Chains A and B, each alone.
Chain A
Amino acid sequence: MRRRDLLTGLAGLGPLTLAGRVWAAPKASAKLLVVFLRGAYDAANVVIPVSSDFYYQARPSLAVPRPGSGAANAALELDADWGLHPALGETIYPMWQQKQIAFIPFAGTDDLSRSHFETQDTIELGQPVHGSRDYRSGFMSRLAGVLSQSRPIAFTDQLPLIFRGGSPIPNIGLNAVGKPAVDDRQTRLIESMYEGDKLAAAVTEGFRVRDDVTRSMSEQMIAANRGAISPKGFELATRRIGWLMREQFNLGFVDIGGWDTHVNQGGATGYLADRLRELGRGLAGFAEEVGPDAWADTVVVVVSEFGRTFRENGDRGTDHGHGSAYWVMGGGVKGGRIAGAQIRLEQATLFQNRDFPVLTDYRALFGGLLQRIHGLNASQLATVFPGAQPKDLAVV
């Protein structure tokens, strides 16, 4: 694989320093960002089965109108069978039109608990569901271990399970980044106290990442002040992530909550639509900030612990389900398609007569992606996802 030869050649170059700033080797390394929608987002109203009459019967108040039906907030056409929620029209739909995003419906796990934290743990650990779980080993930590040049980071306030294990991986919550209150002299004194302590590496790494992020943030704020709108919330965080993943980090994780819509979910408009708009703006903001060169080498995978019930409930919402829809996007992604196994959605084909079935296991999906993105071989994949077979859906 030519990319691998290029990487091996570049590894011999080493970093160059100019005026105190370390310049990374030319951007030939692949980048991966995993975005976890915590709370089980309603995939059926986002990647919408518009050709299924049963969808419209099952969701009298929540269904999004068919594309071309003339309704004001109709779904946007993806292909003959699927539509996209209109709230993503300005952000994600253009990516679809540029073939930079693929959707994988009927995706998920074989965890049938339908419990948020249990299934979130299942996905983050990446270990077989049946059997004892090692809570100290998340799959992205194992991935960082097998990659030769990984610079991982979690953009969360607390180190998530997905990154536990191996050498300490830094985390930084991005919404509250300001000038560090602990100055250089105090930093050095604190580091001196920890010499020889088992936390020494973590202390030094924590200060280093804080300094890198602060320096990057001040550059980014100067650049952003030339723009018009000041982003807030998730978009603010993802733009910073994009800036940081341009050159500094190549393996990232971020999560966003608020998807557990049991009551008054809304259809084409409403609560879910607002969250989707925020998510779409965040992802588009990330793509913009990471820059066209890096975007061509970046893959963003959006996942959630499970989907929701096919039928709406008595509170104009939906309850915990099973199959979900995952998104894979990036400058180099072979997008513009709905990937993975799919079936007609009727009452008879529902899982347990209530949910989407799972036809693509998340570990098979990730395995297939990692094979292509990082050129991992079979034994490396078995380290990252023990007991799972990769499935190549040809999306990258």
Chain B
Amino acid sequence: MQSDGDIATVLRTMFHAPEFATSADRKFKDPVHFVLSAVRLAYGDKVILNTAPIQGWLNRMAEGIYNHETPDGYSMLSAAWNGPGQLAVRFEIARQIGSGSAGMFKPAEPGAVDHPAFPQLQNALFFDGLRHALSPRTRAALDQAISPQDWNLLFLSSPEFMY
């Protein structure tokens, strides 16, 4: 306010504010962020051949691509995405992403074959980085997994993956 909107001053004030430091990596993921970060972690640089499953998941989570009814677009507030009903759906989507390639590697042309792929979430990025940020409760739950798909579901549903 004192600088009357001078961009450099405003930005400097924002960057030095205590809220900025604490908020930096703790924003609840909206469905697009959640799905794409899960798929990216699972498949790395493999090119997705069919995005229909992803669009379907986003529609189920009420953030379908270009599907917002009114021109103000999807909300950027976490409160719009972390209600009880939405979390329950998110866990179901986590199970789908974690259980197999879900048709993402089968091109949409008739007669196409399904290319080999499976979600590999326990990869280098996980072991070198993400694993260290997991809380003891999450690690305890992951230890109870009875199959790789089960592990994937639990990991993608964990609180750490939601932010």
Contacts and interface: CB of A to CB of B under 8 A. Distances in A.
B118 interface: no
A339 interface: no
Nearest to B140: A192
Interface stretch (B4-12, B45-53, B87-95, B102-110): B87-95
Given A181-B95, A190-B157, A202 B87 contact: yes
Given A182-B92, A182-B153, A186-B150, A193 B87 contact: no
Contacts of B61: 157
Given A136-B79, A168-B84, A157 B62 contact: yes
A192 B84 contact: no
A202 B82 contact: yes
A170 B83 contact: yes
Interface string A34-56: 00001000000000000000000
A207 interface: yes
B87 A164 contact: no
Interface stretch (B14-22, B34-42, B69-77, B125-133): B69-77
A171 B86 contact: yes
Interface in A154-210: 154, 156-159, 164, 168-173, 176, 180-182, 186, 189-190, 192-197, 199, 202-207, 209-210
Contact of B82 (A156, A170, A173, A199): A199
B83 A193 contact: no
Q: Which of B69, B71, B72: most chain A Cβ within 10 A?
A: B69
Interface string A105-137: 000000000001100100000000000000110
A257 interface: yes
Contacts of B77: 135-136
Interface residues on chain B, size class: 35 or more
Contact of A205 (B62, B84, B138): B84
Nearest to A155: B85
Contacts of B72: 117
Given A190-B91, A192-B141, A206 B85 contact: yes
Contacts of B86: 158-159, 171, 206
A176 B70 contact: no
Nearest to B162: A199
Interface string B149-162: 01001100111001
A207 B60 CA distance: 17
A243 to B, nearest CB: 17
Nearest to B85: A171
B112 interface: no
Contacts of A157: 60-62, 89
A176 B60 CA distance: 9
B137 A195 contact: yes
**Which interface class (under 10, 10 to 19, 20 to 34, 35 or more) fits A?**
35 or more
Most interface-central of B69, B82, B83 (chain A CB within 10 A):
B83
Nearest to A39: B69
Contacts of A190: 91, 141, 154, 157
A169 B138 contact: no
B160 to A, nearest CB: 9
Contacts of B157: 190, 193
A181 B92 contact: yes
B137 A168 contact: no
Of the candidates B62, B80, B86, the one having the most CB atoms from chain A within 10 angstroms of its own CB is B86
A171 B84 contact: yes
Given A117-B72, A176-B60, A199-B162, A189 B141 contact: yes
A203 B96 contact: no
A182 B89 CA distance: 10
A172 B85 contact: yes
Contacts of B153: 182, 186
Contacts of A164: 79-80
B62 to A, nearest CB: 4
Nearest to A38: B69
Contacts of A182: 91-92, 95, 153
14 contacts: A157-B61, A168-B84, A170-B84, A172-B88, A182-B92, A186-B95, A190-B141, A192-B140, A193-B141, A199-B162, A202-B83, A203-B84, A206-B88, A257-B69
Given A189-B154, A206-B84, 17 more contacts: A158-B62, A158-B83, A159-B80, A159-B85, A170-B84, A170-B85, A171-B86, A172-B85, A189-B144, A190-B91, A190-B154, A193-B157, A193-B159, A199-B159, A203-B87, A206-B87, A257-B69
Interface of A: 38, 116-117, 120, 135-136, 154, 156-159, 164, 168-173, 176, 180-182, 186, 189-190, 192-197, 199, 202-207, 209-210, 257
Interface of B: 60-62, 69-72, 77, 79-89, 91-92, 95-96, 135, 137-138, 140-141, 144, 150, 153-154, 157-159, 162
4 nearest A-B residue pairs (beta carbon): A117-B70, A206-B84, A171-B85, A206-B88
